[in-house]
Amino acid sequence: MIYKKLFLLLFILFLVGFLWTVTIRHNPLVKIGQKNSLDVSITDNNRLAHPLVFFDKDAFYRGVEEAKTKNKIFIDHAFGGIVPHHLFPGFIITDFFNRLSKQNPNTIILIGPNHYERGDYHALASLYKWETPFGTVDPNEQVIQELVKNKMVQIDENVLPEDHAVAGMMPFIKYYLPNTKVVPILLSGFMTEIDTQILSNELKNYVDSDSVIIAAVDFSHNLTNQQAQEKDRTTLELMRSFNYKQLLSLNNEYLDSPSSITVFLKIMQALGTTKMEIFYHTNSGELQKNDYIETTSYFSIAYYKL
């Protein structure tokens, strides 16, 4: 009888734990703008630094040499941009940041997908510095503190360094923009359009002549070259028409962060900076001259005032 009761108790505890885990995964505890019981006081100026985890040395330096040779520039002042976070097309990322280096912004708001849906908030940020082969990237503590205070983000120093969406961008930023500070934010794929509107309303206040927002997002996944091209045409049309409802309904065959692109585009719309310049649109199959392998597709785009 005792064993039966003990077994029943253990089963109940297991069931409660399982249901709690599922709830966290599919409905994060706290949404944008809601009170966050895990808020912490931010007072320590002696920040630790996240170690370098994501760096493809060969792809990086090949990209640096290509960007140096072409040395392209923006046609106007860029207020925002979209780049891949997959490090394979390093030349696409170096091209963008080489262009941005001429503008030399003080701050980059860097958003990307929370690939593994870790953490318990729709938007996660970091106050740590970031180690790179070229020195450390500093956070813009003032902006991040304000976002925490306004319940827009939660600090999570465990999730961000283990997700390549923003961590992989840090070497590019330090190499081309050694004095630029960052506001790195991972966004959940479970954000609603209301969530994206609340966050974009806040973030737009920090995008100006001396600051830019960059969405580090990869597009179609696990498709052939032709299939990827078709999906990308659909996604690009939805982006051009600012069809947020449809964008947020897309899956990984189209892009890996509808939330990031929606927040980004809402900010561009609010600022009147919706003039697009597309530098690159390609995919890993096309780059490897193989139309049949599973691919990841990439866009590099800058946004200017109309």
Cβ–Cβ < 8 Å for 136, 170:
no
- pLDDT band at residue 47 under the 50/70/90 scheme: confident
pLDDT at 1 over 60: no
* Mean pLDDT across the chain: 90
Shared-domain flag, residues 196 and 54:
yes
pLDDT per residue as tens digits for the range 22-46:
343 333 434 555 544 333 333 344 6
Same domain, 35 and 177: yes
pLDDT at 25: 35
- 225 & 298 share domain: yes
Q: How high is the pLDDT of residue 33?
A: 57
Give residue-wise pLDDT tens across range 296-305.
999 999 999 9
* Same structural domain, 284 and 152: yes
Q: Is 3 a residue whose pLDDT tops 90? A: no
Task: Summarize pLDDT for 168-222 with one digit per residue, the tens.
Answer: 999 999 999 999 999 999 999 999 999 999 999 999 999 999 999 999 999 999 9
Nearest to 201 by CA among 129, 268, 267: 267
pLDDT reported for residue 6: 47
pLDDT at 32: 58
Instruction: Identify whether the C-beta of residue 161 lies closer than 8 Å to the C-beta of residue 54.
Output: no
**pLDDT tens for residues 212-248?**
999 999 999 999 999 999 999 999 999 999 999 999 9
Whether 87 has a pLDDT exceeding 50, the answer reads: yes
State whether 113 and 45 are in the same domain.
yes
Q: What integer pLDDT is reported at residue 42 of this predicted model?
A: 38
Arithmetic mean of pLDDT, 75-81: 98
Indicate the pairing of strand 107-113 with strand 135-137. unpaired
Alpha-carbon gap, residue 172 to 56, rounded angstroms: 11
Residue 226, domain CATH: 3.40.830.10
**Are residues 21 and 81 located together in one domain of the fold?**
no
3 and 88 fall within a common domain = no
- Please say if the pLDDT value at position 15 is more than 60: no
Whether residue 21 is found in the same domain as residue 65: no
Q: Are residues 150 and 267 in the same domain?
A: yes
How many domains are there within the chain? 2
Instruction: Assess contact for 303 and 79: CB atoms under 8 A.
Output: yes
Per residue in 102-149, pLDDT (tens digit) is 999 999 999 999 999 999 999 999 999 999 999 999 999 999 999 999
Residue 91 has pLDDT above 90, yes or no: yes
Domain identity same for 88 and 3? no
Interior/surface letters 254-292, b for 16+ CB within 10 angstroms, e for the rest: bbbbbbbbbbbbbbbebbebbeeeebbbbbbbbbeeeee
Q: Looking at the structure, tell me whether residues 58 and 149 fall in a common domain.
A: yes
What are the phi and psi torsion angles at 206 (to 5°)? -110, 5
